[in-house]
Amino acid sequence: MADVRAWRRFRQNKVAVASALILLLMAAACAIGPCFFPESHTQPSATSFSPPTLTHPCGTDLNGRDLLYRILTGGRVSLIVGFFGAAVSLIIGTAYGLVAGYVGGRVDNVMMRVVDILYSVPRLIFILVCIGALNARLLEFASEHRIGWLVSYSRIVILIFSLGVIEWLTLARIVRGQTLALKNRPFVTAAVSLGQSHIVILLRHLLPNLLGVIFIYLTLTVPAVIIDESFLSFLGLGVQAPMASWGSLLADGAGSLNPIKIRWWLVVFPAAAMAITLLALNFLGDALRDTLDPKETAK
C-alpha cells in the first residue's frame, strides 16, 4: 500500500522523473553508444586537438582520438565503478550495522568504536595501499588462471572493492540506529517468542523494514563513489591509460589548459557529462528522500 503511494508521489515529482530519465539515457549511451563509432574514431589518428566538427562532435584529444567516444567509454568505467562500488559498500554497511544494532551491548560498542577509528584514517592512503598491494597479486592470479578479462580490468575490480570498502561507514551507522529502534518493536518480540532464529529475524523481519533507508542512501553513495573514482583518476592513481574515466579525461583537459591554445572542448565536454550525471543522481536522491522517507509514509 505504502509502495503504491510512494510510487505515485514519485511519478508526480517531475524533477525526479526527469533525472531518472536522464540517468537512463546516460547509462544507455555509455553502454551501447561506443559500438556505433567507426574504427577511425576509436583509434589514435593524425588529427590531434581538432575542435568540435561534424565528424568529431566533441573534438579530438592529443592522440587524435574522438572525444565523444572517449567520454562514452570513460562513462562506462565511471558508472560501473560507481554502481558496483556503491553495491559493495551497501552490503558491508548493511550487514555490519544490522549485526551491531541487533546484538547490541558490548559487541555494538566495540563495532562502533571501530567505525569511529576507521573514519579518522585518511581514505586516500587506504585506497592507494589497496591498489598498490592488491593489483600485482590480482594480475598474477588472473594470468595464472587465464582469466583474460580480469587482466585488463584488474584496476577497475580493485577500485570497486576498495571504494566500496571505504564508503560503508556512514551506512553502517544509519542501519545500526534504525535496527536499534526496530528491534524492540512488538513484531520483533513476536518473532523471537515464536522461536525464530536470529538469521531469520535479521533477514525476514528487520531487513525489509530498512530497505527504504538503504535505497535512499544508495542514491547518495553512487555519486560519492563516482566522485572518489574520478578524484583518484584525476590524480593519476585510478584507471590507467589508455583506459579512460571521466576523472582522467578531466585531468587531461585541465592539464592542456593554457592561454595560448584554447582547447576548451577537452574540459567542457567531460565536465558536462559528469556534471549532468552527478546532478541527476543528486536530484533523484533528494526526490526519493521526499517520497520514501519512513517518517513521511507513516503519516
Binding site for another protein (CB under 8 A): 117, 120-125, 128-129, 132-133, 136, 223, 227, 230-231, 234-235, 237, 247, 250-251, 253-254, 257-259, 262, 264, 267-268, 271, 274-275, 278-279, 281-283, 286
Residue 80 or 127: which CB sits closer to another protein?
127
Q: Is 263 left (phi over 0), alpha (psi -120 to 50) or beta?
A: beta
- Report the amino acid identity of residue 153: Y
Q: How far is the CB of 252 from another protein (least distance, A)?
A: 10
Residue 80 or 224: which CB sits closer to another protein?
224
Q: How far is the CB of 37 from another protein (least distance, A)?
A: 25
Residue 9 or 123: which CB sits closer to another protein?
123
Q: How far is the CB of 172 from another protein (least distance, A)?
A: 17
Contacts of 124 (CB under 8 A, 6+ apart): none
Q: How far is the CB of 240 from another protein (least distance, A)?
A: 13
DSSP letters for 200-217: HIIIIIIHHHHHHHHHHH
The span from the CA of 22 to the CA of 16, in Å, is 10
Q: How far is the CB of 229 from another protein (least distance, A)?
A: 11
DSSP state of 241: T
Residue 156 or 251: which CB sits closer to another protein?
251
The span from the CA of 54 to the CA of 47, in Å, is 14
Q: Is 130 left (phi over 0), alpha (psi -120 to 50) or beta?
A: alpha
C-alpha cell belonging to residue 100: 551491531
Q: How far is the CB of 144 from another protein (least distance, A)?
A: 17
Residue 14 or 54: which CB sits closer to another protein?
14
- Report the amino acid identity of residue 197: S
Q: Which residue has the cell 575490480?
A: 157
The span from the CA of 149 to the CA of 166, in Å, is 25
Residue 98 or 174: which CB sits closer to another protein?
174
